[in-house]
Amino acid sequence: MVEKVIIIGSGPAGYTAAIYTSRDDLNPLLIRGFEVGGQLMLTSEIENFPGFKSILGPDLMDQFAEQVKNLKCRVIDENVSKVDFSSYPYKVYVGKDMYETYSVIIATGASVKWLGLDNEKRLLGKGVSGCAVCDGAFFKQKNVIVVGGGDSAMEDANYLSTLTDSVTLIHRRHEFRASKIMQDRVLSNNKIKVIWDSEVVEVLGKDHVEGVKIKNVKTGEEKEITAYGLFIAIGHTPNTDVFKGQIDIDENGYIITHNFTNTTKEGVFAAGDVQDKIYKQAVIAAGWGSMCAMDARKFLEEKNLSK
């Protein structure tokens, strides 16, 4: 049996693609992977997803999953180990099992780059965050820390300065990697303090972030800074390793798309953070998922494969 469409990934993009393709009677196969739900499983309260005044990230993903279940979408909770897009129909491998398909929607997302500190993971959602736009509103009138030196860190620091009492930006070098205009905005913002040549070596706090210990990389001097929130902005890693050599991927690991969702292989589409380097929001990823589903349906109809 050749599948009409296989969807790889289970964040907002993958689930939305599954909802749309299920309702279009394409009988999709959703391969969710071991880490079901994507980055929202690491998020606490969400207040910017339409339709919900406030909802926990895992609860939102549970509702997505329930909707997919109600549509009788078939689901596999294992990781894709290999794909072969060199001949048609395409092949998707899950361990020793191989599935052939006429189209593929890739929605494997991206993972936040963390500092790798012991308390960082323990306090995730308790003051540690990888998304200022998602979580910034929970830190109104508090002191927060941003770690990073690129455009994302500058954007996060500026955004958080509109909500919080103060922002301390910590960077391990003596110059930013960010564009000049973004640097100028940060350096001219009197609510942002920059600490150069330093790195966070410990996250402080028992049940919630209470501050950090930093170390000057030149002098070795250590000191503690009190803060209620710690925002990590050192980049994302797209989950694209399994697709390398099969479709075009840029130097940062993001899938290259054209005409919105099309990859460089006909019938293979990409949605959400796996190809979105800019917005990285759940509602936008969901929109990409619906776009992929509609493009996949159109592709299958043109190939007379939708029935």
Phi, psi of 48 (to 5 degrees): -120, 20
In the chain, which segments carry CATH 3.50.50.60? 2-111+236-302, 114-232
Which pLDDT does position 17 carry in this prediction? 98
Which pLDDT does position 289 carry in this prediction? 98
CATH code of 114-232, in short, is 3.50.50.60
Residue type, 46: I
Tracing tokens 């540690």 back to the chain, one arrives at 128
25 is catalytic: no
Q: Which CATH architecture has domain 2-111+236-302?
A: 3-Layer(bba) Sandwich (3.50)
Asked if 263 contacts 106 with a C-beta cutoff of 8 angstroms, the reply is: yes
User: For residue 212, what are the β-bridge partners?
Assistant: 203, 225
Which pLDDT does position 221 carry in this prediction? 97
135 is catalytic: yes
- Rounded CA-CA distance 153/108 in Å is 24
Which two structure tokens, joined as six digits, stand for 59?
């609860």
Which two structure tokens, joined as six digits, stand for 164?
């919080």
Q: Under DSSP, is residue 13 helix (H, G, I), strand (E, B) or coil? A: helix
Q: Rg for the chain (alpha carbons), in Å? A: 21
Q: Return the DSSP state at 84.
A: E
Phi, psi of 238 (to 5 degrees): -65, 140
Asked if 271 contacts 238 with a C-beta cutoff of 8 angstroms, the reply is: no
Chain centre distance of CA 143: 25
Residue of 134, 273, 276, 292 marked catalytic: 134
Q: Is the dihedral of CA 61, 62, 67, 71 positive or negative?
A: positive
Region of residue 219 (phi > 0: left; psi between -120 and 50: alpha; otherwise: beta):
alpha
- The CB density around residue 279, as the number of other CB atoms within 10 Å, is 13
Enter the pTM of the model. 0.83
Which pLDDT does position 235 carry in this prediction? 87
Phi, psi of 243 (to 5 degrees): -100, -5
**Nearest Cα residue to 99 out of 115, 82, 113, 116:** 82
Pairing verdict, β 90-94 and 268-270: unpaired
Residue of 24, 73, 135, 273 marked catalytic: 135
Residue type, 89: P
Cis ω for the linkage preceding 238 (within 30 of 0): no
Which pLDDT does position 45 carry in this prediction? 79
Asked if 282 contacts 49 with a C-beta cutoff of 8 angstroms, the reply is: yes
Which pLDDT does position 133 carry in this prediction? 86
Which pLDDT does position 46 carry in this prediction? 86
Which pLDDT does position 182 carry in this prediction? 93
Q: Return the DSSP state at 129.
A: E
User: For residue 168, what are the β-bridge partners?
Assistant: 145, 193
pLDDT tens for the chain, 307 residues long, are 999 999 999 999 999 999 999 999 999 999 999 878 888 886 767 888 999 999 988 899 999 999 999 999 999 999 999 999 999 999 999 999 999 999 999 999 998 899 999 999 899 999 999 999 889 999 999 999 999 999 889 989 999 999 999 999 999 999 999 999 999 999 999 999 999 999 999 999 999 999 999 999 999 999 999 999 999 999 889 999 999 999 999 999 999 999 999 999 999 999 999 999 888 899 999 999 999 999 999 999 999 998 8
Chain centre distance of CA 62: 17
- Rounded CA-CA distance 287/49 in Å is 12
134 is catalytic: yes
Residue of 24, 62, 73, 131 marked catalytic: 131
